[in-house]
Structure 1
Amino acid sequence: MRPNHHNRPSYIEIDLGVIAQNTCNIKEKLPAGVALQAVVKADGYGHGAIEVARVMAENGANCFGVALVEEAIQLREAGIHLPIIVLYPEPPDRAHLFTQYHLIPTISDLRFAKQLDEITADNEKIDIFIKVNTGMSRYGPNPDEALILANEIRTLRHLKLAGVSTNFSSSDNGDPSFSIEQLRRFSAMGRELREMIPHKLIMSIANSGGVLNFEDSYFDMVRAGLLLYGYYPSKESKRIVSVKPALKLLSHILYVRELITGESVGYGMSFVATHDMRIATIPIGYGDGYPRALSNRGKVLIGGRRAPIVGRVCMDALMVDITSHTNAGVGDEAVLIGPQGGEFIGADEIAELCGTIPWEITCGLGPRLPATYIHKHVEKKAIGVK
């Protein structure tokens, strides 16, 4: 993430103490022997991968999951030494990066495996994972084909099959039927695979929804993503682990004007005043990743109270109605995501207004936004859940 060297009035604030507590709470929920893979792809879901990874490593994470080799390299160059699993297949011409940076690939076919085997030094053995399709239909062979692939990998002398993984497609939608079927398929394949492979294999299917809703899906390792950052994947998900959002999106009022009846606000004249009003301009917009879909719909916290967005969210600014905020003025803090006073606006609330998911909201916060990090004191022991 970018430090706020020049004090831009709009920025992200991440509480690393909250990240630490969330990690502890998830880790404590897992039975002994079950590893926690902390997923830090997409720059740690918009929270800053390097900063959150360091804290997660200190609070129970056993390894990290990323989507791209570049994300893994960034962690390695920052001094992150825990195992890093690249969760999705890569083309064979990038195989050398896995040996150079000591990364664990996930494969879907034999092409990458053969290339990796060819370039690996004689005295080295590289761990790999196979991605299996149990119903997501995105990457990986079906279970019967995965068994064939695993057997072929056994013939490659520089590779060791460390584990197999698959993805739940709907572990958080309130209907468990297909997730149960995916678990059945994955378990059946795992039993056959363990008979074939002499060493211990890691099996992994549980994402954040799996952690919350399917405790029999933990197997040897869970892959927690959104949950680490403080959000539950859906309203239907069980709250068996206590987590709290760590990200706050802040700005400040830069300009205030008096609006008279009949005057419009913003592009397209989508808002026209029906009475005299006070309008505040806040210097943040969709160029920073704040959704334009919140035009005339979203809310901003000012003085611990909600102020409605009026007019269209612009690329670099948005306007809010502060008529009832009689003491509000230039320089006052405006919170777009997070707490202020006794109020709270969550990424999940924004996502619902936009017809999307909280992952997209936090991941979409743009590179123009600098970030600051705080680390409030937290208890290392997990918080109890009633």
Structure 2
Amino acid sequence: MTEIIRRTWAEIDLDALANNYRIVRGSTDPRAMVCCVVKADCYGHGALRTAAELQSLGADWFAVSNLEEALQLRRGGIVRPVLVLGFTPPEEAGALAKGDISQCVYSMDYGEKLSLCAAAMGVKVKVHLKIDTGMSRLGFYFQDIFRDEGAIGEVIKACSLPGLLPEGVFSHFAVSDEGEEGDAFTMRQFGCFKELSEALVRAGIGSGQPLLRHCANSAAVFDYPLSHLDMVRAGVVLYGLYPSAKLRARPELRPVLALRSVVSHVKTVQPGATISYGRKFTAEREMRVATVPVGYADGYPRALGTGGAAVLIRGRRCPVLGRICMDQLMADVTELPEASMGDRVTLIGRDGGEEISAGEVAGWEDTISYEVVCALSKRVPRVYLKDGRVESIYNQLLSE
């Protein structure tokens, strides 16, 4: 694709991405590496082009959720180390080894099964040992409320399993984005992680090549510099979104994604007319209504139809009327008489002096900005901008 099909599209500002990466790099301990978290299609921004840009900017590592995402990066030309943070079926040990992809090992049971499969295939799989210091999700259980000393022995044993090459040890903070309210628990988690990782050093694990220690997520990059250790894992902040409103250090990040559409139709409705499914909105006066070809199948949530949502048309806020449909929504343009078919509509992003952020959209839906951008569907083309111009377009429906 060389031209935008002007229905609904997402603009990805690579200059903003570069700005945010440099802020992360500048905020990270110079001795620590930066791992860019690019799971969930780079948080909806498009995995391949976005990751390629981050690689060109100097990203040391990449982290993904699953094997498919890791293989997508490898097939797309990403050569830096890639870590799978979640579950990979042990029988895929060969694919991990062939792709030079590092795998999270989070329990002895999983480690033994991965080891058996790797040994049977005659391969070596690089692994990072995950320590559960307080998320109670994945990881060898080693929390402050119950420090099972047996967990240290299990991790040491896992590091010695045949077919596995211990490369790193890591954990994940649960409330590092909660400001002062999260301080005590975050430091308890960090204390547990330090205790276990130091025990591995005393046991001689990584004596040839020290294990890579990492536990700092996006919020901790800025609010907990003590936790940077050997590497930080930056995710949502790369895309110009703050982990929460309670983040204390708030550098000037720039939103990378804007969601655009167009006005497809404008009509006048009379008092008493109802709009959209369920007839949840009734016109109390004569109104001009614009139809916009974007809906929940594109990732614009159906719930926003009753949550006070608005869109920008000609730089003006126009309230959304009635429920969001699968492929369309309606907006009030009564106070914008010049609105007409073909006008650009901004659902996320800036238009003139007005802006609707992903965080604002998340507030209407009572969720978080992560979910808003991750929800954009494959039928929304990603249009990449660089130096203020369209650099490339990825339309998944039309790609070969």
TM-score range, shorter chain: over 0.9
Displacement of 1:115: 2.7
Q: Which amino acid aligns with 2:158?
A: I
Q: Which amino acid aligns with 1:239?
A: A
Q: Which amino acid aligns with 2:373?
A: T
**Number of the residue aligned with 1:382:** none
**Number of the residue aligned with 1:250:** 260
RMSD, matched Cα: 1.8
Instruction: Show CA shifts across 1:266-286 (max 9, x none).
Output: 111111111111100000001
Aligned residues of 2:63 and 2:83 also touching (Cα < 8 A): yes
Q: How many residues align?
A: 374
Instruction: Show CA shifts across 1:64-95 (max 9, x none).
Output: 00001000000101111000000113221121
1:19 equivalenced with 2:17 (yes/no): yes
**Number of the residue aligned with 1:357:** 368
Matches within 5 A, 1:1-386: 7-109=5-107, 110-119=111-120, 121=122, 126-143=125-142, 144-174=149-179, 175=181, 176-196=183-203, 197=205, 198=207, 199-296=209-306, 297-376=308-387
**Number of the residue aligned with 2:396:** none
How high is the sequence identity, in percent, across the aligned residues? Answer: 37
Distance 1:362 1:154, change over 3 A: closer
Whole-angstrom distance in 2 between the partners of 1:180 and 1:275: 58
Aligned residues of 2:115 and 2:162 also touching (Cα < 8 A): no
Q: Which segments of 5 or more consecutive residues in structure 1 lack a partner in the other structure?
A: 378-386
Moved over 6 A (4+): none
Aligned residues of 2:62 and 2:80 also touching (Cα < 8 A): yes
Instruction: Show CA shifts across 1:8-51 (max 9, x none).
Output: 41111101111111111101111222011000000000000111
**Number of the residue aligned with 2:394:** none
Whole-angstrom distance in 2 between the partners of 1:111 and 1:118: 10
Aligned residues of 1:27 and 1:60 also touching (Cα < 8 A): no
Displacement of 1:291: 0.8
**Number of the residue aligned with 1:381:** none
Aligned residues of 2:140 and 2:155 also touching (Cα < 8 A): no
Q: Which amino acid aligns with 2:9?
A: Y
SS of aligned partner of 2:379: coil
Aligned residues of 1:26 and 1:241 also touching (Cα < 8 A): no
Q: Which moved more, 1:136-145 or 1:10-19?
A: 136-145
Whole-angstrom distance in 2 between the partners of 1:119 and 1:353: 52
Q: Could you tell me the TM-score, scaled by structure 2's length?
A: 0.89
Whole-angstrom distance in 2 between the partners of 1:120 and 1:272: 66
Q: Which moved more, 1:250-259 or 1:185-194?
A: 185-194
Q: Which moved more, 1:167-176 or 1:303-312?
A: 167-176
Whole-angstrom distance in 1 between the partners of 2:313 and 2:84: 41
Distance 1:241 1:126, change over 3 A: farther
Displacement of 1:158: 4.1
Whole-angstrom distance in 1 between the partners of 2:130 and 2:321: 47
Aligned residues of 2:34 and 2:233 also touching (Cα < 8 A): yes
Q: Which amino acid aligns with 1:270?
A: K
Displacement of 1:154: 4.2
Whole-angstrom distance in 2 between the partners of 1:190 and 1:240: 30
Whole-angstrom distance in 2 between the partners of 1:319 and 1:4: 30
Q: Which segments of 5 or more consecutive residues in structure 2 lack a partner in the other structure?
A: 143-148, 389-400
Q: Which moved more, 1:52-61 or 1:313-322?
A: 52-61
